[in-house]
Structure 1
Amino acid sequence: MAQDTAQPAAPSTPARALLPLILPAVAVGVGASLLFLGVSSAAEALQDVLWRNLPDALGVGRYSVLWTVVMLTATGVAVGLVVWKVPGHAGPDPATTGLDAPVLPPVVLPGLVLATALMLAGGPSLGPENPIIAVNVGLAFWLGRRLVPRAPGVLWPALAEAATIGALFGTPVAAALVISEALAGKQLKGPLWDSVFAPLAAAATGALTTTLVAHPSFDLHLPSFGRPGWGDLLASLVIASAAALLGMAAVRAFPYVHGAFARLGHPMLVLPAGGLVLGLLGALGGHLTLFKGLEEVGEIAADPDGWSAGEFATMTVVKLAALLVAASCGFRGGRIFPAVFVGAAFGLCAHALVPGVHPSVGVAAGVLGMLLAVTRQGWISLFTAAVLVASPSIIALLCFASLPAWLLVTGRPQMQLRDDGTPVR
């Protein structure tokens, strides 16, 4: 008789072990969301001063070539001063970090917050996600170890990362997908749901706090997309793959561009030089290619036929180049939100070239392919692309489109470097 070689299932965690995690998860979720909203609000207020009040008072065009170059260069100087002089130097080189943030010492966090707020207000093409996650992880770990010393140290970074992702996207689904992806390669001691219980509670709290306070929405209100057809499937496959290839071109260039800036040596040379290049790119691409890109992508999506294919192509290339430069020269920020703009502009370019391509299909597939190349986060890419289009039928198309796009990016260099400057694979 053949022996049963199946391994026994790991025992579930009893409820009495999970219940004490709820209160810390809720506390971290509220705190992470409020910090994110506070930094974002402060940056928006400063942005209004720098890009509206100040140029109006000086009689200079708000997004004129002169003001764009001056403001981006000045932002490089301001962030360079923070990196040079503020204790902790605003954390490690952002080119070496991703969403999975290290636990930074408390002395680093104020400088990192200041550098992030200045970057968001000044116009470089980066989002808040990476530094805000790092700050929340550092704060949660430092406070958690002191207030709840019996809790395992690994609990606090997991709660903070999940809470911040939930706050950033206004939904815990994105955090749950990222957590599941991170746990997929680990040997779990129990059911998956036991492992994600506390992080999911933190993510839900962070998302709900953001929703109640700020009412965010990622729906671009694109033209309604009904039942998909064969043409939609073909378009999604082609656009997602082409966007992934375009994104991989920037990924391949990343270590070389980073190395070129690094040879300048001092942050007061590297960041102002990066700001100057970004200012010239912003002057070339227009004001829509500045900042993190979330509001700007809503503007181009509101009128898919309002720009020509050439204009969309210019915005795509300029924004991708700006993302590459900003991520290479030391500005503290993340790559997800600007990559969304690049993918959306690429998809709308495809729609302008081939009117038969539905704008919703073009945008969703373009964002999917670009995010797969830039972030190498499959679930985040699928979720973000799907949430931009309020149509359940788009999900099946995106799942198919992700397959060839993933084959183009997997196993290849990522847009993240090791300390020695070589790309992570």
Structure 2
Amino acid sequence: MSETPQASSPYPPSYYAASRNIIRTPKVLEGPVEADICVVGAGYSGLSAAISLAEHGFKVVVVEAAEVGWGASGRNGGQVVNGLNASLGTITRRYGQQTADFVGKLLQEGAGIIYDRVERYGIDCDLKRGNIYAAYTPKHMEELKAKQDLWRRHGMDDHQLLDKSQIRAHIGSSVYEGGMIDHSGAHMHPLNLTLGEAAALESLGGTIFEQSPVTRVEQDSAGATVHTAAGHVKAKTALVCGNAYLGNVVPELTARVMPVSTQMMATEPLGAERAMALLPTDKCVEDVRYILDYFRLSADHRLIFGGGVVYGGTDPADVVAKLRPNMDKVFPQLKDVRIDFAWSGNFALSFSRVPQLGRLGKHVYFAHGYSGHGVTGSHLFGRILAEAVRGDVTRFDTFASLPWIPFPGGRMFRAQYSTLGSWWYALKDRLGI
């Protein structure tokens, strides 16, 4: 979205905000605070790193501009999809086989972190296993078969191909040529996961300051200082995890990623029978087009349907008008169903579609640019940030050494160039080429 978190920002009016199961009383940062680690951003990346460090005895403070999970972590499609946006094949071509082998070993780790923490800390977020990639064309099916083969070569054998008749057992729609199940994927209530992780961090002695927008991050020989309008945190190390909502707080990072908005809506409650006719096995779904649709059932039997992108992070004038035709194409039986919620939110796109890890000076680390695969990627990269802080830089250095590629057109024209590119790929989707 185009909005920037402010000190009194409420949650955007999403289904997730309306159905969250933890209501927090925000604590605002006022005056000086000291910590071992200061994390900027109370989303998945920041909380993942913070929990990993707190579990090892570090004194951790998290500073959030709005409220826990206010950004992408509390608004996304709720799908635990393994892998990065850039495929293993792309990574092999771009960075070599050694890097691809390294990445292949950790593509399912982010999901594992989520499953472990949900169980360990008793997080109530409606977690359900399994996700489906849906194919519209025979060419899409060839791509899924190649993906299955590639993942198998990297030791991952959780993917099951589905033909046209088999996918009907999972999706009550006739539009798909087939698909593939990833049995190691899942879906959940994303804001309740974030709120549960915040509670887990606090149970470990961590502190979270909300409604406290960071104004700048400074460092000297002794450590880093994170400033807000009313206070500051002095720490040995700062982790910058603002992602698409960081704004210009750390100018060195602003041009590295571009905010891109995606849209979602939630129907009225459909009732168990009608909902299960849509998704009989209650798995989440995303299709394999460049501009894709994704959908799943909520715990109270709504269909949550998302898709579309707007480069630069602005909102479409009417989210329902944009998404409804796509939903009706997949599920024409829902043409008369009421839409109760519609919202938008940003993810951070890197030009290479590979997340970026790095260090600014000696005491400031960052992670961002998950490019639409942030649910699992953020948990993984948060852990890798924590490893680096603790002294194990093996995995951190591998990612930090990958070159980041600037957007064509720079900050001023990057959205226009990316939009032109998306039109080309959308045309290929429509033509089936």
Structure in which a larger fraction of residues adopt helix: 1
- The answer, yes or no, to whether TM exceeds 0.5 is no
Instruction: Decide which structure has the larger Cα Rg and report it.
Output: 1
TM-score (norm 2): 0.26
Structure in which a larger fraction of residues adopt strand: 2
